[in-house]
Every structure is written in C-alpha cells, then in structure tokens.
Amino acid sequence: MPTLLYIDTSGNTATIALSANGGLKALRRHHQAQEQAAVINLLIEDLLQECNLQLRDLDALCVCAGPGSYTGLRVGLSTAKGIAFALDKPLMLFNKLELIAREFNTQHTASQLVVALKARLGEYFVARYDAAHTVLTEPQHLFEADLDTLLQGQEALLLSDTDLPYTGPRVMIPADYAAGMDSWIAFATARFATGRFDDLAYSEPFYLKAAFTTQSKK
C-alpha cells in the first residue's frame, strides 16, 4: 500500500499527516491559521523525520483543496504542487465537504447527508450526498435563503458548523474542525489504487466563490 502525505490548511487548524499501509503513521496539527505559510514545511520535515522517511519515499500527495480560507488553500496546494513537481509525484485533491460527509457518515448512518459550512454571514458552502457518497447536489456557494429551500422537505442528516433552522437530524461540526484521518486515509488509499490522480499543472483550489474585495475610494 502507498505512503501518502496529507495537507489540510483550509481552516484555522492545519493538519499534516502521513499514512502507510492504509494506516496513520504520524500527525501534526497547528492551531494558528496566520502562521500556516511559515510552519507548513517545518511540520512536513518534522513528520518525515519521525517516520525516518524522505520526500522521495512518498508515493503521492493528498490535499484538502477547499472550500475554506483563500490564503490557507493557496498555501497548502502550492506546497503540495511544489513537492509533486520537483519529485514527479502524483497529486490528489479532496473536497472538504465530501471529507466531512465520509467522516461523519461512518458515525451516523443516513440515506442522505447535507454538509453546510459557513462561508460568511448568511452565506454557506453546501453539498448533498447519498449514503454511498455519490454527489446528489454539487458543492456550491449558497445564500441562506437558497439553503433554506434546499433543506425544505429533506430527511437528510445535516452536518453543519452553525445553527441552521432545520428540524431533521443534525450533527454540529466544531468551528475549529480538523480533518478526521481514518476516513480520509481510507478514501485516499482507495483512490491511489485506482489511479484517480489530478492534473498537476491545472489543479486549483475549490474556492466555490469569488474572492471578496472592496473598491478603492481613491
């Protein structure tokens, strides 16, 4: 089975992990989002030293490519792409909404799951999956009114990091959520076995919405 490096800098907590033979070998978390660019390579180096490995020993790189923090997504993906380019290693991108659905569906069996993460006040990143993790509603950016429409009449398990007006079953995702490694490792190992890699040259973060900018008054 492959040796895989995992990078998730999509939120406030950065996750750097290493798996081999389908199991977790080592893990690092960093809880200061503003320091991710400064520490990511140090965390990777520390992780490899713990496992007595070098970058060339990796079989592939796995990145949580969003949605999430614009800056964090760029930090994580650019780091992974730099390593992959330099060492000719394959790259696999993972959507955070699907990772959450896979993680929590192992704990709460449901026929459908809706993942809704707060993007900004009144705005959400949303996707809907069935129990086999097939996408029923593609990951997208929605305003609260549109999310209400999506949830109406649903009997899905709602996975969200904010309190939404929903009467069905729900699980609250911690505001400082960090990727659960058991389900991610299983997913990534299965993808590697089937050769489902992403195009290194054209891979981009899953922003799902345009960057918010303000117009200069000058």
What is the 3-class SS of 72-118, one letter each residue? Answer: HHHHHHHHHHHHHHHHCCCEEEECHHHHHHHHHHCCCCCCEEEEEEE
Residues spanned by the domain of 18? 3-95+177-194
Quick count: other Cβ atoms within 10 Å of Cβ 163?
8
State whether 56 and 152 are in the same domain. no
Do 70 and 106 lie in one domain? The reply is: no
Q: Is residue 189 part of a domain?
A: yes
Residue-wise pLDDT for 158-193, tens only, equals 999 998 888 888 899 988 888 899 999 999 999 999
Does 63 lie in the same domain as 123? no
11 and 85 in a single domain? The answer is: yes
Residue 7 shares a structural domain with residue 90: yes
Question: What total number of domains does the chain contain?
Answer: 2
What digits encode the pLDDT tens for the residues 19-77? Answer: 999 999 999 999 988 899 999 999 999 999 999 999 999 999 999 999 998 999 999 99
pLDDT tens-digit series, residues 68-118: 989 999 999 999 999 999 999 999 999 999 999 999 876 666 788 999 999
Same domain, 136 and 61: no
Residue 92 pLDDT:
98
Whether the model pTM is above 0.85: yes
Asked if residue 218 is part of any domain, the answer here is no
Chain-centroid distance, C-alpha 13: 12
